Structure 1
């Protein structure tokens, strides 16, 4: 069972940002999507989520596409955005109840699943709070909890560590490992490569809308002809090459 992207072209106003993207993520794997700002990471995530329509190619989850069965496809996805998206008129508890409704899970089950997460992130005393009273980090934790109480087999996460304190980052990375071990596929973007290097099974490296390297670190070292480079060194090398090509000369 996989999240599969095949010959994908996607972008805005018929102008492709992504060009011929191909990869698979098996259920149980954690994959890091890395690249400079503007490389196409957000476009890829939005296309997988169905927020952007692919211009060409296909995205499928366990063989199901959004075109073939929108409801079944969507039920298998959970999303944690870079900037928390909360409803100002709903309390934390009501956000969890709305999540239950959206995924067809009973409120009782969702609250039971949420209880240890709320305690872990120190939000168990704030179920009646509205988002206006939350810090950015607290809002991000709400998004994390709402995603993790679902039965989604694919987690799409955009810059998950922004706004989280070191303790919350530790808890969150452990939860992602547990979720992968339970059989979920996880795709996340991050510029915090030190965390990615310890957390990810594989990587996808985007540059100018194209997938220029993928696989585990040894595979990417071989693809980029840098056998001894760390993930950070590979990223810096590709970033500098990309910037140099943009200006037509040396950075």
Structure 2
């Protein structure tokens, strides 16, 4: 069974479509990179998956049930490009609030959080407020809260922005560990060299349309380009740079 499935999804803001006839799926235990320029339709696709936008046509399913089903929300977690925290809550309280939202016992949440706090070097910041955190630290708080939950599906939008090199390596380690537990990850990124290191498959969106979907080897075979993911992307889109 697919963890996530998009079937011929067309949609956007208001009546104007931004994405057109998008279809793809994520299987259990996959890390899939959603690749495209800024404005290609990646964020719009993600907002439809999250149920923040309603498609003009097509269907989106999580665990074979329509995403509009409120019960489906507990099976996924979202990490946005820009950290969104509550200024009046400490890091500890953010973890507790996340646990409550997902029906997780607080003690269990804190047990899961301990190695994450250590990984991101925030174990001494539990009782501090976000006003005292840098952007990178705020991003790490978002990551900790998301990975504490351990849902079936992680959706991560531009995860490496604002993270230091150790934070990036920590995130990659976490994603691989979740994949090994059978979890699925859809990650939007334009840092293709990093994505090439650990993604199992790549979905390339250009001008709101899916133009490729496959592993690095299958994309090389399809395009005849025996190069990097950047090389394949440039060949498929005709763009001179990836932003």
- Decide: shared fold, TM above 0.5: yes
> What does 1:1-251 correspond to in 2, within 5 Å?
1-2=1-2, 3-67=4-68, 69-70=69-70, 72-223=71-222, 225-241=223-239
SS of 2:238's partner is helix
Alpha-carbon distance between aligned partners in 2 of 1:241 and 1:198, rounded to the nearest angstrom = 22
Alpha-carbon distance between aligned partners in 1 of 2:239 and 2:91, rounded to the nearest angstrom = 45
Any stretches of 5+ residues in structure 2 without a counterpart? none
Alpha-carbon distance between aligned partners in 1 of 2:189 and 2:237, rounded to the nearest angstrom = 14
Q: In structure 2, what is the equivalent of residue 249 of structure 1?
A: none
Q: Deviations over 1:26-74 (max 9, x none)?
A: 010000011111100000111101111111111111111123x21x210
SS of 1:83's partner is coil
Q: Which moved more, 1:201-210 or 1:47-56?
A: 47-56
SS of 2:219's partner is helix
Aligned-pair CA distance for 1:241: 4.6
Aligned-pair CA distance for 1:115: 0.7
Using the size of structure 2 for normalisation, the TM-score is: 0.95
Alpha-carbon distance between aligned partners in 1 of 2:61 and 2:146, rounded to the nearest angstrom = 20
Q: Deviations over 1:78-113 (max 9, x none)?
A: 011100000111110110011011101111111110
Aligned-pair CA distance for 1:242: 9.0
RMSD, matched Cα: 1.4
The answer to whether the 8 Å contact 2:225/2:231 transfers is no
Q: Which ranges of 4 or more aligned residues in structure 1 deviate by more than 4 Å?
A: none
Alpha-carbon distance between aligned partners in 2 of 1:59 and 1:242, rounded to the nearest angstrom = 33
Alpha-carbon distance between aligned partners in 1 of 2:34 and 2:67, rounded to the nearest angstrom = 22
Alpha-carbon distance between aligned partners in 2 of 1:53 and 1:230, rounded to the nearest angstrom = 35
Q: Deviations over 1:109-149 (max 9, x none)?
A: 11110011101111111111111100011000000000001
Alpha-carbon distance between aligned partners in 2 of 1:179 and 1:215, rounded to the nearest angstrom = 21
Alpha-carbon distance between aligned partners in 1 of 2:239 and 2:131, rounded to the nearest angstrom = 43
The 1:21–1:76 alpha-carbon spacing in structure 2 relative to 1, beyond 3 Å, is: same
Aligned-pair CA distance for 1:213: 0.5
Alpha-carbon distance between aligned partners in 2 of 1:9 and 1:222, rounded to the nearest angstrom = 29
Q: How many residues align?
A: 240
Aligned-pair CA distance for 1:239: 4.3
Aligned-pair CA distance for 1:220: 1.8
Using the size of structure 1 for normalisation, the TM-score is: 0.92
Aligned-pair CA distance for 1:240: 3.3
